[in-house]
Structure formats: structure tokens, C-alpha cells
Amino acid sequence: MLKMFKLSKILETVLYVDNFAATEKFYTEVLGLSGKNGNFAVGEGMLLLFEASKAVKQKSPPPHGATGPGHMAFEVPFEEYERWKKFVAEKNIKIEEEIIWDKDAIPVVRSFYFRDPSGNVLEIATPGIWKKLLG
């Protein structure tokens, strides 16, 4: 059996969008990400917005895509969580759900969900979610 090499990080995440201009504007003007042409640096990783109808037809890199809403989560420090929740609500963006992942942790580990203009589900989360879930 071959020894597996270890993957070191997730380099990029792609969300497929149907309204590129409105969705890119949302990520820059509402969430405050900087980038261009739908490419945004977030920490050490990249968030890429691809037009769904074009990505499945491209020649290179190999065509890819997804149907239906995608999902991604942004982690924020505990002390910024409530400010993010208030900020999203003030932008008239519906918060669809809030989950408390670890009520025994101090501070409490939690996240909330909302959508971008293309319907992708976004999550703002405090640190520690996967630590609790993976044990």
C-alpha cells in the first residue's frame, strides 16, 4: 500500500453564480472583500466566483460546475460575531438560521446563515466549530 501524502490546506473555494455583477458587488461592497474579476483573498485561501453557465463550457481548466446553492463559511473572532450579525441584518439581508454548536464553551461557539444574490448559503462562524464536531 502506498503511503499517502498529507494535504496542507484548502487553496481555493468556488461558488457558482448566475448574476456575476450583483454577486461580485455583494462580496466587495457588503462583505468588504478585496479582489477583482471575482477572485478574493480570504486569509490564506481564495474565494472564486465563476459564472455557472460559462464554467461548464470552458476548455481549460477542465469544465466544472454545480447546480443549486453552494455553501461556504467565514470564521470571525468571537468579539466580532455580534457586530457581523447586526451588520448583515442592517443591510436587509435575511438571517435564515443561527446555530449554537457548543453551548458549554466559553465563549459559546455559534454561527449564522444568510444568502448572496445568487442564492449561495454563507455562514459567519466563531472559532471552534470543527474542534467540537470532530472531537
pLDDT in tens, 37-46: 999 999 999 9
Q: What is the pLDDT of residues 18-68, one digit of tens each?
A: 999 999 999 999 999 999 999 999 999 999 999 999 999 999 999 999 989
Contact 123, 29 (CB under 8 A): no
CA within 13 Å, CB half, 31: 24
Distance CA 64, CA 62 (A): 6
Beta bridge partners of 123: 73, 113
Q: Which grid cell is 96?
A: 435564515
The pLDDT assigned to 105 comes to: 85
Domains in the chain with CATH codes: 12-134 (3.10.180.10)
pLDDT band at 1 (very low <50, low <70, confident <90, very high): low
pLDDT band at 2 (very low <50, low <70, confident <90, very high): low
